[in-house]
Copies of this chain bind each other. A is one copy, B any other.
Amino acid sequence: MNKCDQCIVRQLSSLKALNKEEIIKLANSKTTYKVKKGEALFEEGEVTNGVFCVKDGVGKLSKLSANGKDQIVKLVKSGELLGQRSMISNEPANLTAKAIADMEVCFIPKTEIINFFNSNNQFSLNMMQSVCEDLKESENEKIALVQKTVKQRLAETLLHLHDEFGEDTDKTLKVQLTREELAGIIGTATESCIRLLSDFNKSNLIELVGKKIKLKDVRALKKLADN
């Protein structure tokens, strides 16, 4: 059996609908490579012509503003796909994808995906559902941006990061984000983000272990977040 069969992406993403035969085709058409922390998988405006499977590492989808701030739209972790939207829409990428932690990815060319669309209905449906999931999240985040304060959004984001990525052995968040990146997720200035982290630290909601963050009072954070 080839490697794709046991791959985490195959287990977690839309690709789980593919049968043995299709998986073999997939394995033959894919290309695997590594992306170092800070490097880009693709940049806004590029035509990607395929989909990226994230085997390992963490990526961010973001857009640079005129004033130089990077707004992070989504984090992508191992097991997920990247670049479906622009591939499906036949458009250049709307966002830039960069590695936040060293990544290992496979690239699947568009032609192959289209074949799967045509031959495997469940695959199409899975893909559609995954885009719908992204849409729902995006809408809810949009609403949160307007209806919640920066403090609430920070609390919410810390909880999300905890849920999605888990914690290290020292109980700190596993994803290593700079304060600037964290600010880019919640949509605020880096200084504001740092200030609030200090506040949270002082009021014992979190603990700052060097640059890492440990959630100390999840209940209080939750209460703060959805008020």
Contacts and interface: CB of A to CB of B under 8 A. Distances in A.
A145 interface: yes
Contact of A94 (B85, B94, B140, B145): B140
Given A128-B128, A129-B88, A135-B85, A147 B117 contact: no
A168 B146 CA distance: 31
Count of identical protomers in the assembly: 2
**In the complex, which range does the number of interface residues on chain A fall in?**
35 or more
B132 A124 contact: no
Contacts of A135: 85, 131, 134-135, 138
A139 interface: yes
A94 B71 CA distance: 24
B85 A143 contact: no
A94 B127 CA distance: 20
Contact of A145 (B95, B117, B127, B187): B187
B134 A124 contact: no
Given A118-B121, A124-B117, A138 B142 contact: yes
A38 B94 CA distance: 35
B136 A73 contact: no
A169 interface: no
Interface in A108-131: 117-118, 121, 124-125, 127-129, 131
Interface string A58-97: 0000010111010101000000000011001101001100
A118 B128 CA distance: 13
A227 B67 CA distance: 10
Q: Which 9 A-B pairs have the closest CB atoms?
A: A146-B187, A65-B147, A138-B138, A89-B132, A135-B135, A142-B142, A145-B145, A88-B132, A124-B124
12 contacts: A63-B143, A69-B147, A71-B146, A73-B142, A85-B132, A85-B136, A88-B132, A124-B125, A124-B128, A128-B128, A138-B139, A142-B145
Interface of A: 63, 65-67, 69, 71, 73, 84-85, 88-89, 91, 94-95, 117-118, 121, 124-125, 127-129, 131-136, 138-143, 145-147, 187-188, 227
